[in-house]
Each structure stands twice: as C-alpha cells, then as structure tokens.
Amino acid sequence: MLLYKVKDFKELSRKAANIISAQVILKPTSVLGLATGSTPVGTYKQLIEWYEKGDIDFSQVTTINLDEYKGLGAADVQSYRYFMNDNLFNHVNVNKDRTFVPNGLTEDPEEACKAYDDLIAACGGIDLQLLGIGGNGHIGFNEPTDSYIKATHVVTLSENTRSANARFFASMEEVPTHAITMGIGGIMEAKKILLLASGKAKAQAIYDALYGPITPQVPASILQLHPDVIVVADEEALSLL
C-alpha cells in the first residue's frame, strides 16, 4: 500500500488527479471505476482543468461508477448519474455511451445487478478504481454487515449513511432508503485502487480501515488484502495514525 499524506483537500485533489491522469496517459483505453460524494469533486475539477489545457484525453476511456440511489434517475439532481454528468462527463470528451452508472430506476433490480457485473467483466475489468470512504468505513454503498457481499446488489442504507448524505437533499425523508452498489468483489478485482479521505470526520474510518482488523463491519478494511492500493489522505484524515 502506498500512502500519500497531503496537507489539505486542495493537495489531495491535485495528487488524485495526477494519479488518474497518469493512468489515462499510460493507457488511453483505461476503464476507470468512479465515485461520487464530496471527496472526489476537487479531483474532477482538476481533471477538467487539465483536459481544457489539452493535457488529458478521455476519448477512449470507459467509466463504471460504484453506485446509485434506488428510485432516482438521471433527471434527479441528487442522483449519482446527474452528479457525474454535472461534475465530470459534461465537461470532458468522454464518450457518454461508455459511461456507466447503475440504473436506479430499474424495474428488475436483480437482473440489473447481474448485468452490471457482466458489464464490468465485458469491459475487461476496472483498471483504476477511485474510492471515497464513509464515516462508518463503507465503500461504494457496501455498508457494515456480518459478511462481505461480492456481487453488485441492492443495499438498505444505514441511518448513519442516510444522515451523512442528507445534506444533499431538502429533508431527511427525501434521502432514499436503498441503493444499488457494486459489491466488494467488483471493487477488489480492480487492478489498482485509489482511496481518498479528507477531514477529521474520516479519521476513525481511515484508522480502522488501514490498521484495524479486516472485518465486514469496516468494509474498507478489506483493502488491506488488495495488492495495489494507493491512499491519498490529508493531515486531518490521518490524525489518528
């Protein structure tokens, strides 16, 4: 595991964007596993800036997102598809037909989950998976549980996660109760993983994930078993190390 300790969110965003750029420059046909949440927003902004300067070309890239709220579609501003269009895809030359986010409006979630795993396999697997981390150690929407779930699946969101994400909604009642998430298998099968964490609210989760026992109660702790993980975290997120 390679750990980059950076000063703050700004430095974290530049470092993460550098790593993603390097991936795309070295392999223009990369399959990027992408994440939502506040943490990667600065990274996406930096990538857009470099794209506008002509330093990075997304034309042959495929993207596969981690998760989506159940019941929300591309037109809903809180959906992760909307977030990705708004924060990255609309501003770079990625081919939108090769950007994938689970379909939150599917009428057959079981089939949609299976199709998502088939899609990851058909793309040849994920070259670089970007991850944030929940305050309770979740990755994607893989919540703390008694056992890891390997495949893409529908998950009931914990109250902890719903209240952490309530800031994006008008009220707590509007926060979806379920989501579709890539499973731990899809994440762990990525060739390289880039985990980002910023701020004090992530300090305990980062400590538990990197130094605690490997347990599904701290989903991110399984990353200790991955052969190629890069962690970029700021001083506050690393304050318990």
Interface positions with ligand GLP (CB under 6 A)? 35-39, 66-67, 132-134, 140-141, 161, 165
Whether 67 is catalytic:
yes
Catalytic residue among 68, 127, 143, 234: 143
Least Å distance, CB 28 to ligand GLP, is 26
Least Å distance, CB 57 to ligand GLP, is 26
User: Which of 132, 186 has the CB closer to ligand GLP?
Assistant: 132
Least Å distance, CB 105 to ligand GLP, is 18
The residues that bridge with 231 in the sheet, in sequence order, are 3, 195
Whether 136 is catalytic:
yes
Whether 90 is catalytic:
no
User: Which of 56, 180 has the CB closer to ligand GLP?
Assistant: 180
User: Which of 60, 148 has the CB closer to ligand GLP?
Assistant: 148
Catalytic residue among 65, 103, 127, 138: 138
Residue whose pair of structure tokens reads 């599917």 in the numeric block: 106
Least Å distance, CB 179 to ligand GLP, is 7
Catalytic residue among 65, 136, 142, 165: 136
Active-site residues, by number, are 67, 136, 138, 143
